[in-house]
Amino acid sequence: MIPLSFAQRRLWFIDRFQGPSATYNLPFMLSLSGALDVAALRAAVRDVVARHESLRTLIAVDAEGLPSQHAVPVEEVALEVPLVEVAPDALAARAAEAAEHTFDLAADIPVRATLFRTAPREHALVLLVHHIAGDGSSMEPLARDLAAAYTARLKGEAPELPELPVQYVDYTLWQRELLGDEKDPGSVLATQLRYWRDELAGLPQPLRLPADRPRPPVAGHRGDMVDFHLEPELLASIETLARERGVTVPMVLQAALAVVLQHLGTGDDIPIGSTIAGRTDDDLSDLVGFFVNTWVLRADLSGTPSFDQLLSRLQDKALAAYDNQDAPFERLVEMLNPERSTAYHPLFQVMFTWNGDRWIDVELPDLSARLEALSTPTAKFDLEFNYFTDPGKPGLLCYLEYATELFDRSTAEAIVTRYVRAIRVLVADPARPVGLADVLDPGERERLLRGLNDTAAETPEVTIHGLVERQVEASPDAVAVVSGEVSLTYRELDERANRLAGVLAERGVGPETVVGLALPRSADLVVGLLAVLKAGGAYLPIDPRYPSRRLEFILSDAHPRLLLTDEATAPVLPPSDVPRLYLGDVDFGVPAQEPEGAATLWPGHAAYVMYTSGSTGTPKGVVITHRNVVNGVIRLASSVGVDAGT
């Protein structure tokens, strides 16, 4: 049995988990003008499938549920290439329909081909490859082999292509041998995973984007596209800046994208996904297969950097990522174990896909041929920005693929408009702080100044726990917290929090004192958080999934008076001299009493301390007041329409 590669395994898991869909299809259309020999083309397609085992590989699952790959023998492959007559104005719709075919990875070879005829000398071959069998870089060897095979078949000969030195299954085994055993601390895999564990600790999930609708609990992956174009003059300016700063054009474009996302309200810590070809050996360059790997570049816009400074930061991140490019993204997801959700992509929700000059010329006898990617009404991510060049169209061709479940087309178009404007502004003045970059068009600016920026509202002078106590009085028996099988009413939540607050006060917790909170996501976490606030303290979130060094720094830097945790979480926390209070030691059956000399708390007092990545990579603590939180909650509830019955 041949195991799947790490990349294949993730797509197989998605296919099993979400069911077959067209989301991971790679459709291409080869437009052909001239005298086409249909029989020769059909034979050439079969020749290509015979040459590349990945295109005739099925995924089998054993009795224990483990997948393996199996190449169907050439003589057993039954690949039809139907010829379909279609009117010229119906070609786009029929091609899109063909591109939405769903593969059964256990029963169907992962490739299909349909030939459309719109006129006697006009044809279009739609090639559909499932991503588990190929990637964007696979299209060049596929097209080259198809052209060579067609040329030979046109002469009545079998193609004499040079033998491939390896097949995809060889890469699968080689990948595992190269990476080594993760349990071996000196292995490539263990070393690179350590880098990514530290680099991606505390990643914001999900990224806050200006969606038009609430995120559904299960992503449907329906999407649409907005095309845009960077004119030759702007591309030349980008290339000049990149050359002068010693960076690449994609780095400039990705840095500008991070600035736009910050202006859209995502915050200063912005994870953006990107791809790397993964063909690290020359023997892989002629193969059709799934080699591409995904990494996450974390754009740090804290500290009001200039665009030059942001480029430098991003370059450092990219070079470090390049040195650790072999760690499979699939393993990063498993290792970091982010909160798993069917609603959004793990680790990042915005993708940057640079295709560059990957333009494929296809030369066929007596034919004018053009190979181009087809779009499908799907979206793998919330937003995906794609870039490529076309020798016949100066400048840079781009498109934004967006999730229609979240965004209206008008919103996607507005994002693109801001992005192009931001690129122009940032490239023209890279020394200017990115926070001051004017990414709004005149119409948007006018609307913001006259309407959308009018956020003046009467906000109650109350603390966070004061808001909760109001709700306790209004609906004491309404459900306040649900976590698994545990459910607490507002009265129960308030009583437990009051009891714990009394214990905290006895331990010296009061206004402006910090209490570390190291508890799993549970009802107890809500009780602990509320209790710290009621006692007058500010809570410090301690995520036990963070690397030990980061936790050690936070604890030493914040100097919490107390660490509230439980017996299950405590063993994974780093050693420190901070006193610990175990939740299991608190007797919640004892009625709560207000401690003597309880201090008065005001909205301006600290509510919590949040540590960000910091502009230098060193975590930086930021104090958030009760007023900050209450203002945000009141405004959010008003704009979204949240009330007690929601």
pLDDT at 304: 81
pLDDT band at 18 (very low <50, low <70, confident <90, very high): confident
On the question of a common fold for 6-171 and 464-640, the answer reads no
Mean pLDDT of the chain: 89
Q: Which two tokens stand for residue 146?
A: 């198809």
For residue 28, give the amino acid letter. Answer: F
Average the pLDDT over 566-577 and give the result.
Answer: 90
The lowest-confidence range among 280-289, 539-548, 597-606 is 597-606
Task: Write the pLDDT tens digit of every residue in 598-607.
Answer: 456 888 888 9
Residue reference for tokens 């929601």: 646
CA atoms of 94 and 82, how far apart (whole Å):
13
Task: Write the pLDDT tens digit of every residue in 72-81.
Answer: 999 999 899 9
Q: Which two tokens stand for residue 427?
A: 């490239």
Mutual angle of helices 523-534 and 464-474, in 10-degree steps: 110
Q: What is the fold, at CATH topology level, of the domain defined by 464-640?
A: Rossmann fold (3.40.50)
Higher confidence at residue 61 or residue 621? 61
pLDDT band at 645 (very low <50, low <70, confident <90, very high): low
| Secondary structure tally for the chain: helices H, strands E | 17, 21
CA atoms of 65 and 62, how far apart (whole Å):
5
* Sheet (strand 293-300) strand order: 223-230, 393-403, 383-390, 350-356, 269-276, 293-300
pLDDT at 63: 86
Residue 615: pLDDT over 50: no
What is the per-residue DSSP string for 495-528? HHHHHHHHHHHHTT--TT-EEEEE--SSHHHHHH
Residue 231: pLDDT over 50: yes
pLDDT at 253: 98
Selected from 3.30.70.100, 1.20.1560.10, 3.30.559.30, 3.30.70.1140, the CATH number assigned to the domain covering 222-451 reads 3.30.559.30
pLDDT band at 544 (very low <50, low <70, confident <90, very high): confident
Strands (E), 109-248: 111-119, 122-130, 223-230
pLDDT band at 613 (very low <50, low <70, confident <90, very high): low
Question: How many degrees, rounded to 5, is the angle at CA 334 between CA 328 and CA 335?
Answer: 85
Higher confidence at residue 216 or residue 633? 216
pLDDT at 443: 65
Residue reference for tokens 């020749």: 47
Q: Which two tokens stand for residue 238?
A: 């980008």
According to DSSP, residue 20 is labeled S
With CA atoms as reference, report the closest residue to 299 among 403, 406, 386, 207: 207
Higher confidence at residue 35 or residue 623? 35
pLDDT at 642: 60
Q: Where are the domains of the chain?
A: 6-171, 222-451, 464-640
What is the per-residue DSSP string for 30-59? EEEEE---HHHHHHHHHHHHHH-GGGGEEE
Residue reference for tokens 């979480």: 569
Q: What is the fold, at CATH topology level, of the domain defined by 6-171?
A: Chloramphenicol Acetyltransferase (3.30.559)
Over pLDDT 90: what percentage of the chain? 61
